[in-house]
A and B are shown apart, each in its own frame.
Chain A
Amino acid sequence: MSDTQTATSAEVHEALRAVIDPEVGLDIVTMGLVYDVEVEDGHAYITHTLTTPGCPLERYITDAIRAVVYAQPGITEVTTRLVWEPRWTPAAMKEN
């Protein structure tokens, strides 16, 4: 697939709005859980956090991110990284 058909970082970031936190009912972008998205040669790198360390939704959120990002045009590989710094607070939600 050529570069012109590959989703951009911004498009992937926007696509992540499809991942909904089932408890809060908001998407992970609006909640400020997505810290960084980069796409390079069809490889998407997603850096994200969760509201609480040890959150039982960890697996679901990661799986959903991977599923949504793989569905974007030209994305052939997805790498997610769960980080705890900076720590999430509801203030991140306001900013979004």
Chain B
Amino acid sequence: MIRPAAAPASAALPISAARTTPFWLPASHFTAGLVFLSALALLFPFIAGDLAAGRFLQPRVVAATHLVTLGWLTLSIMGALCQLFPVVLGTPIRSVRLSAITLALYAPGLALFVTGLLTARQTLVITGALLFSTALVLFLLNAIATLWRSKTRDLTWWSLAAAFFFLAATITFGVSLAINLGTHHLGAGRLTALFIHVHVALGGWVIMTIIGVARRLLPMFLLSHGTSERPLRVAAWCVGSGAFLLTLLHRMMTRPIMLLSIALFIAGIVALIVQIAAYVRTRHRPQLDAGLRLVLAGAALLIVAIFVGAAAFLRGGSPLVAAYGTAAVGGLLLFVAGHYYKILPFLLWNHRFAPLAGKRALPKINELYDARIASAAAISIILGITTLLFGVLLQIHTVAMAGALLLLAGLLTEAAQLLQLLRTRVT
């Protein structure tokens, strides 16, 4: 047998006790994320008509897009990484204080930015953009310092390193596009710059982070440890190379380079889906809860986005571009929305109930929220995004509006349920 040496009382504390992240830090990120998600849900009925008409450059559509990408996807990643750094890299975030300052700049900045877009007040747009861009730079400094301290150099580490590089590139392209509003220095290359900005953000930043983190989270949630990770490695190489091509060659962008980067993105996303399918196939938890169903629906929507995106690139036309954006951003929205149902209850349980170990009977994590409400929300969200997508593809305003209303109901239900969950106290 392996006999552990008797340890002094102080040494009996588990290793993680010294490297846990304070609950309030990820919780405050997730709370802000859910507030932005609610604002996005309320905006959907107002942009459904624009999307169905292919008017994806309308300020309110741009506002909604930034609510998803910055208010939901990026903020959720920032919050999740605060909690997940110890799990995936073996080291906590470098500075908790800097994380708090980052959020204090980021959330109001984004709120000002979106308000400015919706009310056509350029001062608000510029002030907001300056605030959240500064916050993103602070986040990057903190995240890179955390990577630096980590002793692991595995697929997760490299994926996150690449993701942080592409976040920096996304900020740079975004600033350039913002300056262009006043100077028009990009000229006819504005749409190409927008293409690069969006794809480096979604592919290089969001999907690379998903690749890095999902390899630890999905096996944990599905109990599918030991599954081959070869598809995930292919996904990381392909998505990373596609985003790198766009970033490196942005000044000499040609259609063949764009085609090559798109082909790499498609190969990478297909490989990611193959990996997720392998995790699901080898899982030891037969039942898929609302969170995992949302994750899988999000993955399926990314496949749809590939086909619609390919059609949009080859045939052109605003309706197809709007449909592609709806599918791609919608897929990632669902993917993250699903993880909220896994991460938040876990986080809350670990903070509020774990200290009571051995003192009283404790609830299971899935008993912290009503599974029927979660399922209803998930169904409404999945139906909503699917209906919206059909409405945009078919250019039928009423269908798009029906989808937007289903999304509104589903997203508000999820946000309300999870915000309520965060208020759970031990009685």
The chain A residues found within 8 Å of chain B, CB to CB, are 20, 22-25, 35-36, 38, 43, 45-47, 51-60, 62-64, 66-68, 70-71, 77, 79-83, 88-91, 93-94
Contact of A20 among B2, B86, B346, B364 (CB under 8 A): B364
B59 CB–A CB distance under 8 Å: no
Instruction: Tell whether, in the assembled complex, residue B364 and residue A63 are in contact, meaning their CB atoms are under 8 Å apart.
Output: no
Tell me, rounded to whole Å, the shortest Cβ–Cβ distance linking B214 to chain A.
13
B123 CB–A CB distance under 8 Å: no
- Closest-by-CB residue of A relative to B285 is A24
- Closest-by-CB residue of B relative to A91 is B226
Tell me, rounded to whole Å, the shortest Cβ–Cβ distance linking B361 to chain A.
9
Instruction: Tell whether, in the assembled complex, residue A88 and residue B225 are in contact, meaning their CB atoms are under 8 Å apart.
Output: yes
- Closest-by-CB residue of A relative to B358 is A67
Contact of B226 among A36, A43, A77, A89 (CB under 8 A): A89
B185 CB–A CB distance under 8 Å: no
Given contacts A66-B12, A68-B358, 8 further A-B contacts (CB under 8 A): A24-B223, A38-B1, A45-B3, A52-B220, A58-B14, A60-B357, A79-B6, A82-B14
Q: State in angstroms the CA–CA spacing of A60 and B284 once bound together.
A: 23
Those 6 A-B pairs whose CB atoms lie nearest each other, nearest first: A67-B358, A81-B4, A60-B354, A64-B357, A54-B87, A90-B284
Q: State in angstroms the CA–CA spacing of A18 and B352 once bound together.
A: 19
B184 CB–A CB distance under 8 Å: no
Which of B15-23, B268-276, B303-311, B388-396 lines the interface with chain A?
B15-23
- Closest-by-CB residue of B relative to A63 is B357
Instruction: Tell whether, in the assembled complex, residue A58 and residue B357 are in contact, meaning their CB atoms are under 8 Å apart.
Output: no
- Closest-by-CB residue of A relative to B21 is A56
Q: State in angstroms the CA–CA spacing of A51 and B17 once bound together.
A: 18
Instruction: Tell whether, in the assembled complex, residue B225 and residue A58 are in contact, meaning their CB atoms are under 8 Å apart.
Output: no
Q: State in angstroms the CA–CA spacing of A18 and B25 once bound together.
A: 32
The chain B residues found within 8 Å of chain A, CB to CB, are 1-7, 12-17, 20, 83, 86-88, 90, 216, 219-221, 223-226, 284-285, 346-347, 349-350, 353-355, 357-359, 362-366
Most interface-central of B12, B223, B358 (chain A CB within 10 A):
B358
Residues of chain B lying within 8 A (CB to CB) of residue A89? 225-226
Tell me, rounded to whole Å, the shortest Cβ–Cβ distance linking A3 to chain B.
19
**Contact A36/B223 with A22-B362, A56-B20 known, Cβ cut-off 8 Å:** no
Residues of chain A lying within 8 A (CB to CB) of residue B226? 89-91
Q: State in angstroms the CA–CA spacing of A55 and B219 once bound together.
A: 12
Q: State in angstroms the CA–CA spacing of A56 and B83 once bound together.
A: 9
Contact of A63 among B2, B6, B358, B363 (CB under 8 A): B358
Instruction: Tell whether, in the assembled complex, residue B3 and residue A63 are in contact, meaning their CB atoms are under 8 Å apart.
Output: no
Residues of chain A lying within 8 A (CB to CB) of residue B17? 59
Residues of chain A lying within 8 A (CB to CB) of residue B16? 54-56, 58-59
Q: State in angstroms the CA–CA spacing of A81 and B2 once bound together.
A: 9
Tell me, rounded to whole Å, the shortest Cβ–Cβ distance linking A89 to chain B.
5
Contact of A79 among B7, B20, B285 (CB under 8 A): B7
Residues of chain A lying within 8 A (CB to CB) of residue B362? 20, 22
Instruction: Tell whether, in the assembled complex, residue B14 and residue A23 are in contact, meaning their CB atoms are under 8 Å apart.
Output: no
Instruction: Tell whether, in the assembled complex, residue A67 and residue B4 are in contact, meaning their CB atoms are under 8 Å apart.
Output: no
Tell me, rounded to whole Å, the shortest Cβ–Cβ distance linking A16 to chain B.
12
Q: State in angstroms the CA–CA spacing of A38 and B3 once bound together.
A: 8
Residues of chain A lying within 8 A (CB to CB) of residue B364? 20, 22-23, 25
- Closest-by-CB residue of B relative to A71 is B358
Instruction: Tell whether, in the assembled complex, residue B6 and residue A43 are in contact, meaning their CB atoms are under 8 Å apart.
Output: yes
Most interface-central of B88, B350, B357 (chain A CB within 10 A):
B357
Q: State in angstroms the CA–CA spacing of A46 and B355 once bound together.
A: 20
Contact of B88 among A35, A54, A79 (CB under 8 A): A54
Instruction: Tell whether, in the assembled complex, residue A60 and residue B350 are in contact, meaning their CB atoms are under 8 Å apart.
Output: yes
Residues of chain A lying within 8 A (CB to CB) of residue B347? 56
**Contact A56/B2 with A20-B364, A67-B359, A89-B225 known, Cβ cut-off 8 Å:** no
Instruction: Tell whether, in the assembled complex, residue B224 and residue A90 are in contact, meaning their CB atoms are under 8 Å apart.
Output: yes
Residues of chain A lying within 8 A (CB to CB) of residue B224? 90
Residues of chain B lying within 8 A (CB to CB) of residue A90? 223-226, 284
Residues of chain A lying within 8 A (CB to CB) of residue B5? 79
Tell me, rounded to whole Å, the shortest Cβ–Cβ distance linking A22 to chain B.
5
Residues of chain B lying within 8 A (CB to CB) of residue A67? 357-359
A-B contact pairs, 18 of them (CB 8 A): A20-B364, A23-B346, A23-B365, A25-B366, A35-B2, A46-B4, A55-B220, A56-B16, A56-B20, A59-B13, A63-B355, A63-B358, A70-B358, A79-B5, A80-B4, A80-B12, A83-B2, A94-B284
Tell me, rounded to whole Å, the shortest Cβ–Cβ distance linking B26 to chain A.
11
